[in-house]
Amino acid sequence: MKNSGGRIYLDHNATTPLDPRVLETMLPYLSEHFGNASSIHAEGRAARVAVDNARSQVTSFLSAREEEIYFTSGGTESNNLAIQGIAWRLGKGKVRLVTSTVEHHAVLKPMQRLAEKGFELTVLPVDRYGRIEPGDLRQALQTGGTAFVSIIAASNEVGTIQPVKELGTICRDHGALFHVDAVQAAGRLAIDLSKLPIDLLSLSAHKIYGPKGVGVLYVRRGVELDPLILGGSQERRIRAGTENVAGIVGLGKSCELCSAGLEETNTRLAALRDRLWQGLAEKLSGVYLNGHPTERLSNTLNISFDRVEGEALLLNLDLKGIAVSTGSACSSGSLEPSHVLTAMGVSVELVQNSVRFSLGRGNTEEEIDRAIEAVIEAVTRLRKI
């Protein structure tokens, strides 16, 4: 997205701009339709209708059932609710937790906390592209007992897509519950929960051109979990608290819009992504692609630049009006190197020299060409320094 100041936004994996059509849908629920969806008067009923309509839109987006959709405050809460909700429902000593080394911190942190509380935890390795070997999951589940598996659908840092269907099938074969963190994948990969062997799934509105502060946890019918937030009876007592009606309305509209033209959008973004990579690889030496060469999100390009620190390049590009990232926005300010790239076996130096470009549906060829020129200029100058 290019704003009136001429800046080029290439950090869509951190957050996406709010679609004007989504904002238009939300505005009435930030003003005249202010009712509490739990109230039974006319104002409350109007809010309830809006929430129900949004739930229907999410249901269509995911090919799920309305009673399987729970609204949350975002992807982090959805992941925590899925992981901790299942763990505490099944009980310590009765369930084994399984995840991977390349998960978002919103999965790794609650998993680690549960391990500190006495739960058994297995963390699967990945190959040099960031992919989980299905055989490793199969082996981890062969020890018997109930297991709960949480795997990210597509990496927010390098874009690598996991073989979700195959992993889910392995979980089904071994009687394990399977949670998928689809926060980065939703809106970029087709998700049909009527066909995929997934028991729980998380997504977030602000990754799909919706508002911040609202998300979804899908819970397959028959799966039970304990709530994290106690209070009222909202969301069928799974997530207490007055509904964020405007945010939920925006999420529903975002899902509706993302459903249309998904294949066409992916084709266009992949062409722009490849244009960016080829433009840099042809003009610069010492550039390395991080992530799977083909099984990767259409919009994501993670590159390590030899002899150029990622943070220095990011700041230089920012001064040139181009927004990029050195990894997960949730890890901004951390002095630790990317755990994802480290798990992939990337050297410490190249981990520190990595930059993530993540494109969105508002980006153009002209913007990509400008970005190529700016990156080449910045890298060349920084290497001389």
Catalytic positions are 330
Cα-Cα end-to-end distance for the chain: 32
CA 326 to CA 232: how far, in whole Å? 41
Q: 148: which 2 tokens?
A: 């709960």
> What is the Cα 5 distance to its own chain's centre?
28
Q: 201: which 2 tokens?
A: 């799934």
Q: Max Cα separation, the chain?
A: 69
- Do 73 and 240 meet the contact criterion of CB atoms below 8 Å apart? no
Closest CA to 370 of 8, 2, 12: 8
Q: 79: which 2 tokens?
A: 């992941």
Q: Give Cβ neighbours of residue 295 (< 8 Å, ≥ 6 apart).
A: 129, 131, 160, 161
> Which backbone phi and psi does 34 adopt, to 5 degrees?
-100, 5
191 DSSP 8-state letter:
-
- Residue 11 pairs in a beta bridge with 358
Element (H, E) at 326: none
> What is the Cα 101 distance to its own chain's centre?
16
Closest CA to 123 of 113, 136, 135, 134: 136
Residues in the chain: 385
Q: Where are the alpha helices (DSSP H) in the chain?
A: 20-26, 42-62, 75-90, 105-116, 134-141, 164-173, 245-259, 262-283, 310-319, 339-343, 348-352, 365-384
Q: In what order do the strands lie in the sheet with 354-358?
A: 287-290, 300-305, 354-358
Gyration radius (Cα) of the chain, Å: 21
